[in-house]
Amino acid sequence: MTNGSPCPPSRPWWKDAVCYQVWPMSFKDSNADGHGDIQGIISKLDYLKDLGADVVWVSPTYKSPMKDFGYDISDWSDINPAFGTMEDMLQLIEEVHKRGMRILLDLVITHTSDQHPWFLESRTSKVNPKADWYMWENGRPGHHIYNTRTGVDDKVEQPTNWRACFGGSAWYYGEERDQHFLHLFLKEEPDLNWENPVTRKAIYEAAIGFWLDKGIDGFRIDTVNRLSKDVTWQDVPTKLVGPLQSATHVYINGPRSHEFLKEMRQYMDNHPRVQESGQELMLVGELPKTPMDDVMQYVHPDSRELSMVFDFDMVDLAGHDSPDEVKAHETKNLCDGDPSYTLPLFKETIIKVQNLISAGGWGTVFMENHDQCRSIARYATPEPQYYQKAAKLLCLMQTTLSGTEFIYQGQEIGMLDMPLHWDYDDFRDPGAKLYIDEEFESGGPEARENARIGNLKFGRDNGRTPVQWSSGKNAGFSDANEGECWIGVNDNCEAGVNVEDQQADPDSIWHFWKRQVGLRKEYREVFMYGSFECLELDNMKTFTYVKTAVDGLTALVCLNFSNEMQPITAPDDLLNGRSLEFLTGNLGQPLAHEQPLAAWEGHVYLLKAPLHKAVEERLRRFPTDAQLDEAFGKSLNI
């Protein structure tokens, strides 16, 4: 390996990694313009290293008109001046590697900006060299579709009745060609035509090869299961009121998805730098709405497609990731007590990913990112008296599940959602504003207020407020004048929700995260790699599971997701004469193992038992990953 610790032959380096996602606009501003930047990231690398991060995932800083905050890319091989320069980016890559860490960049290749030179050429005519580099289709003047839900003939003159993810039609008319182009997201984000092999080759060279040459260690691939669409362009059944319908089942996990990914992975594997260094790239795919068997096709080592995926079943609880079907203000959280989101349903989403790993694939452990609300109210409780406990409880769970760990900026200090008084002018997410506008147009002031509440609860801006480094001006994010930051700062930074105060408090959420990351690495065989067994799946109050390493080391994790005291579950057949040895908990060590869990309390116990002779013989003949790691290290004198 060229950077960081050498990778033992027993497993890829990225399985052991603790990753930290940086969303640059809100991470750290270095030049007082109110906008986070690359030099700001560099200034905090020692902080990330101290926290325990091994990998820094940097969200887009590419050249972009910023209609979708960098996910509308006009040039993959250039840097948006708002973030800095190419020299800044090369310095970031170098500084990350100097600290023994690795770096991932976002790979956004389902679409480009409508200002990308390829699209500007494509839209000029039907016969130019890039005419078919995007997905253009003829409209249907005067076309109507009978809506089986409303009994009305809806006028749909676009090529299909598909709805875009952020609202409105997924097609936009291009006057120059007298055709419509597909955009699954904003109309400023036209979808690339992956059916065209010339386009694919150009994407590989411009978006992938360029950055592999610069020394990055992998990619997080945006909307990776939207590359292939059903290009017969069929209307989808009418299930929603109105002419436009959700069409995710025809453009997610399309018929050529695996073919395209295998081809792309082959390009990466054959890249000269990868060949020369022998480095195993880390490829993380964003994979919503995908069943278990299909996920396995993406991540199984024999498939040679992705290293791991972000499975979104947990995110989608109560329809949160299905805005076409469930409006944001109608979506529920755990503590809302709604049958669409219960603790057993939450457990099932965890079980899916853990079973993926035990079946030979690999997954991720995450609860937050730049597209989601903050985790504490979503997956635990919004009640302020339980804030510290709930934040640490979720950390306890996240650091004891198998897979590659991802921490999102600010999660380590328990950052919370937007203040409840924020309104339309405070929001920055274009999807949030489109939602409010659509609701107001269709339902008036009451519908508008519902949409505002929905955005406060689930909007993407929740995860995009500036990182709170201190209780001072702009929460230490920027030296810009008050009111000049690109988005407002949460005023709870003055109430201890900031890095500076929490680093000074040994009982803080920050210190708990740091300790837990350390324990995860110390006991990696059980927490990163151990098998998973859920106990009492139907229990509506507690989440209890067993992690078992291949060498027999066993951990019992007991988490109370309620406001009431709950007993600890430790079945006799699990204990089998063994005693519980307390390892860690979010409220400290209990007076006795049989002591019930307090509200939002969690414990982790170790069970160390003599190994059966058959297991001892197996270990003697077939060494564990840990033993291989140790032998590999000795061979390198490290």
Q: Please return the burial class of 292, using the count of CB atoms within 10 Å of its CB with bins 0-12, 13-18 and 19+.
A: middle
Cβ proximity of 290 and 363 under 8 Å: no
Q: Helix, strand or coil for residue 396?
A: helix
Helix ranges restricted to H, 417-531: 430-458, 499-503, 509-522, 524-527
Torsion angle of the four alpha carbons 256, 261, 266, 269, in this order, in degrees rounded to the nearest 10:
180
Q: Tell me the residue type at 420.
A: L
Phi, psi angle pair for 110, to nearest 5°: -80, -25
Cβ proximity of 183 and 191 under 8 Å: yes
**Residue 491 Cα to chain centre, angstroms:** 26
Place of tokens 């109110």: 34
Helix ranges restricted to H, 103-253: 117-122, 197-203, 210-213, 248-251
Cβ neighbours of 282 (radius 10 Å): 25
The token pair at 351 is 């079980």
Q: How far apart are CA 596 and CA 432, in angstroms?
A: 43
Positions of E strands within 586-637? 602-607
Cβ proximity of 36 and 45 under 8 Å: no
Integer-rounded Cα Rg, in Å, for the chain is: 25
Give the DSSP letter string of 9-78: TTS-GGGS-EEEEE-GGGT--SSSSSS--HHHHHHTHHHHHHHT-SEEEE---EE---TTTTSS-SEEEE
Q: How far apart are CA 558 and CA 596, in angstroms?
A: 10
Q: Tell me the residue type at 220.
A: R
The residues carrying an active-site annotation are 222, 286
Q: Which residues partner with 57 through β-bridges?
A: 21, 104
Between β-strands 404-408 and 364-365, what pairing exists: parallel, antiparallel or unpaired? Answer: parallel
The token pair at 179 is 């055709």
